Amino acid sequence: MKTKLLFSIALLFCFVKSLIAQTFTVGNINYEVTSSITPFTVKITGLVNTAVNSVTIPLTVTNNSTTYNVTAIGDYAFYDCTNLTSVSISDSVTSIGNYAFYNCNKLTSVSIGNSVTSIGSSAFYGCTSLTSVSIGNSVTSIGSAAFYNCNKLTSVSIGNSVTSIGSSAFYGCTSLTSVSIGNSVTSIGNEAFYNCINLTSVTFGNSVTSLGQGAFANCYNLTSFTCLATTPPLLLGTETFAGGWQSNCNLYVPESALSAYRNAAQWNGFKNLNTYLSTTETKNNLLKVYPNPAKDHVVISNISKGENISVYDLSGKMLFQTKSSGNSLNINTSTYKNGLYLVKVGENTTKIIVSK
């Protein structure tokens, strides 16, 4: 009797599970229902024909007269799709699952919609043909090994909503030359940029509190390292900056924090720790700057007609100079590399971050 009861319970469980995990296929894409009540939602679980080279993920999909919002790319959804070259992710998608594009080694371009909030662990692991990624302002977390060994990735722009970068997130991205990290990132995981041997410049926002073990180990070509945190971030290990490259790299920090960095273990190994441009941001100035971070332009307002306006990089090199013709000025930043710049207006100075 007990055996029959257990068997009946097992059958009931399987029946309920089948109702919950409804699946269907539209076109070449497999879906699983994640909500069967309003609003109806689905996640992508895979492809029928994995030999295709291009995929466009729709905003919605209809099955049996019900229209669902496509809100997630599930774990392993495009795992080992080695013929896939391009993916366009719609604005309805909010999450990219673990191993979602693992070993898609011909994938060259990914357009990530504005609603994605999380990129899972190993999501783009081994995508060795991927050349550039723009991580939008809705993304809050980048999982461990998310872009591991994407060795053709040359640039990464990390939006201002990202709060954490997982361990080994960009491990072995040997073509990466510059990284701009927004103001919300508080932690950078172990070996996050390990062995990024062609990385030359890194800029952090002002919220970083910790860097993991080996986070920038073996980044032999780093020459510019900017950290806007007024307190030196905690280094979780003794080899955060391993590889001997610090002796050839300039560290730029807020002027008020120079002494703290100079006396902090490992941070004091940088060359020319006190080379932060002396024309640092003027306290309590009324200048307004937007958008900041900037992409192709920045507007400076609350200025007076006839004032001298100059833009400098952190080495002190003047990149632009003019006299204002009104109370605002639009400055073209399209040719500027990602990083921190200083704008001097008369006797006042403010900072801008270029992040493309």
Domain membership flag for residue 78:
no
- % of the chain at pLDDT higher than 90: 48
Residues 85-99 have pLDDT tens digits of 988 888 899 999 999
Residues 41-62 have pLDDT tens digits of 999 999 999 999 999 999 999 9
- Please report the pLDDT score of residue 288 as a whole number: 83
* Together in a domain, 313 and 254: no
- Please report the pLDDT score of residue 338 as a whole number: 81
| Count of beta carbons in the 10 Å neighbourhood of residue 238 | 11
At residue 5 the predicted structure's pLDDT band, cuts being 50, 70 and 90, is very low
The yes-or-no verdict on residue 165 having pLDDT over 60 is yes
* Together in a domain, 246 and 153: yes
The yes-or-no verdict on residue 2 having pLDDT over 60 is no
Asked which of 7-16, 125-134, 250-259, 287-296 is least confident by mean pLDDT, the reply is 7-16
Q: Determine if the peptide bond prior to 233 is cis (ω within 30°).
A: no
Least Cα distance to 23 among 42, 48, 47 occurs for 42
Residues 104-136 have pLDDT tens digits of 999 987 877 678 899 999 999 999 999 877 676
Highest mean pLDDT among 3-12, 170-179, 301-310: 170-179
- CATH number of the domain residue 304 falls in: 2.60.40.10
* Together in a domain, 143 and 265: yes
Instruction: Tell me the chain's radius of gyration from C-alpha atoms.
Output: 24
At residue 255 the predicted structure's pLDDT band, cuts being 50, 70 and 90, is confident
Q: Are 352 and 341 within 8 A, CB to CB? A: yes
Domain membership flag for residue 108:
no
Which residues contact residue 296 at a Cβ distance below 8 angstroms, ignoring those fewer than 6 apart? 332, 333, 334, 356
Residues 239-251 have pLDDT tens digits of 999 999 998 888 8
| Inter-CA distances, 99 with 3, 159, 203, 305, Å | 40, 22, 28, 55
* Together in a domain, 292 and 264: no
Record the pTM: 0.73
* Together in a domain, 331 and 231: no
- Please report the pLDDT score of residue 283 as a whole number: 52
3-state helix, strand, coil in the chain (%, to 5): 10, 35, 55
The yes-or-no verdict on residue 274 having pLDDT over 90 is no
Return phi, psi of residue 108, to 5°: -105, -30
Query: Which DSSP string corresponds to 22-33?
Result: -EEEETTEEEEE
Average pLDDT over residues 275-296: 67
- Please report the pLDDT score of residue 119 as a whole number: 94
Residues 189-237 have pLDDT tens digits of 999 999 999 998 888 878 899 999 999 999 999 988 888 888 999 999 8
- Please report the pLDDT score of residue 42 as a whole number: 97
Domain membership flag for residue 23:
no
* Together in a domain, 257 and 145: yes
Residues 181-191 have pLDDT tens digits of 877 889 999 99
Highest mean pLDDT among 125-129, 174-178, 301-305, 323-327: 125-129
- Please report the pLDDT score of residue 316 as a whole number: 65
- Please report the pLDDT score of residue 7 as a whole number: 42
Domain membership flag for residue 177:
yes
Average pLDDT over residues 154-160: 74
Domain membership flag for residue 115:
no
* Together in a domain, 340 and 238: no
Tell me which of 158 and 52 has the higher pLDDT.
52
Residues 58-83 have pLDDT tens digits of 999 999 999 999 999 999 999 999 99
Tell me which of 277 and 112 has the higher pLDDT.
112
Domain tally, the chain: 2
What is the residue range of 333's domain? 288-354
- Please report the pLDDT score of residue 285 as a whole number: 62
- CATH number of the domain residue 166 falls in: 3.80.10.10
* Together in a domain, 156 and 245: yes
The yes-or-no verdict on residue 279 having pLDDT over 50 is no
- Please report the pLDDT score of residue 9 as a whole number: 45
Least Cα distance to 282 among 252, 321, 256, 262 occurs for 256
Single residue among 234, 269, 304 that ends a domain in this structure: 269
Q: What is the mean pLDDT of the chain?
A: 85
Cα–Cα distance for residue pair 314/212, rounded to 1 Å: 26
